[in-house]
Amino acid sequence: MTRVVVGMSGGVDSSVAAALLKEQGYDVVGVMLRLWSEPSTVDDDGVELVAENKCCSLEAVGDARRVAAALDIPFYVINVEQPFQREIVDFFYEEYRAGRTPNPCLRCNRHIRFTLLLERALALGADYLATGHYVRLDDDPLTGLRRLRMAADRSKDQSYVLHVLSQEQLRHALFPLGAYTKPEVRTMAAERGLPVASKAESQEICFVAGNDYRGFMRRYADATGREAPQSGPILDESGARIGAHDGLAYYTVGQRKGLGVSAPQPLHVLRLDTERNALVVGPAARLERAEFTVRETTWTSGSAPSEPFAALVKTRYKATPAPATVTPLEGGRALVRCDTPLRAITPGQAAVFYGGPDSDETLGGGLIESERASQAASA
């Protein structure tokens, strides 16, 4: 019997994924990862912030155990707190300190779930690691390469955060929910009597207490002896100082609220100038960009294309894919030229490329670079 390890979170998606695989005849083993969480503390208003990672809280562990018992499958909890802190939490902090806006889920899928957890799954004699992500997998009929495709339910598609997976990782991956909608998954959970059928899903950053990342930045700097974000000037596009910011890490491109400056027209964050520790603001029209570069590119096929190619590009998890031309560059970078300018291209976020006959195949992607880096690459 083929063994598959299911990464369980105590939520409805991973629970139904485990149930479907059990019904399909797999030897299913449930595994939850114990991740790092910051120590208990209080926020600026004196409210206690409980030290629990939402992905592996006591409630989540209890729910996952109950589901595993209902399905009659083994269940284990594996401690990966230290590598999670090193690979995800430290990265999260340093990216914000560098004036970028990271996506920790994307990095967690690459370095924790489909590296550490996959390694544990293979060590347990499993052939596959399965998760409750909404994506589809198949093989290219011409090349035989594994293809990562958007979910049937585009509103739940999670290919954006899985585009970093290699051919080897995809060969050992199963995503049972890719053909279903979220309402269908909840119905299947209820039909099977799973105790999490109506459980709400969290959209928060799992390791940030109270979903307050600004407070987390201050607390983590104090706890680890890192340099905290420093205040600096808010500049208009002419370079004139019009206010002061609390630290670049507390802002992101496109932000309008919370700037603390007044002007005849609404102002938005245009860029974070780390060299001058300055926040540059301007009108919404100045947020549009037709060209940018990405770094740390990954290609689902395993190798970079040799020529520029047309693609649909997503620059945020919930963004609508937009037509563009992608040109691979040296050093693991790529130049993206959009057919129509896009708004709020944010350094640190991923740009993911899609193509193929149905335009739902994930081709690869990379992390968006600053405007200055993009200008240097295209010069």
What is the band of 250 on the pLDDT scale with cuts at 50, 70, 90?
Answer: very high
- What per-residue confidence (pLDDT) applies to 371? 72
- Answer whether 230's CB lies under 8 Å from 277's CB: yes
Count other C-beta atoms under 10 Å from residue 339's C-beta: 12
Q: 225 exposed, middle or buried (CB, 10 Å; 0-12, 13-18, 19+)?
A: exposed
- What per-residue confidence (pLDDT) applies to 357? 72
Alpha-carbon distance of 245 to 247, in angstroms, equals 6
Whether residue 299 is predicted with pLDDT greater than 70 in this model: the reply is: yes
Cα–Cα–Cα angle for 106, 109, 112, nearest 5°?
Answer: 125
Give the residue numbers marked as catalytic: 108, 206
Q: What is the pLDDT of residues 313-370, one digit of tens each?
A: 999 999 999 999 999 999 999 999 999 999 989 999 999 999 977 789 999 999 999 8
- What per-residue confidence (pLDDT) applies to 91? 96
Nearest alpha-carbon partner for 214 in 26, 37, 24, 44: 44
Whether residue 158 is predicted with pLDDT greater than 70 in this model: the reply is: yes
Q: 181 exposed, middle or buried (CB, 10 Å; 0-12, 13-18, 19+)?
A: middle
pLDDT > 90: percent of the chain: 82
Whether residue 49 is predicted with pLDDT greater than 70 in this model: the reply is: no
- What per-residue confidence (pLDDT) applies to 45? 63
Q: Which domains does the chain have, with CATH numbers?
A: 3-132+176-210 (3.40.50.620), 231-282 (2.30.30.280), 288-378 (2.40.30.10)
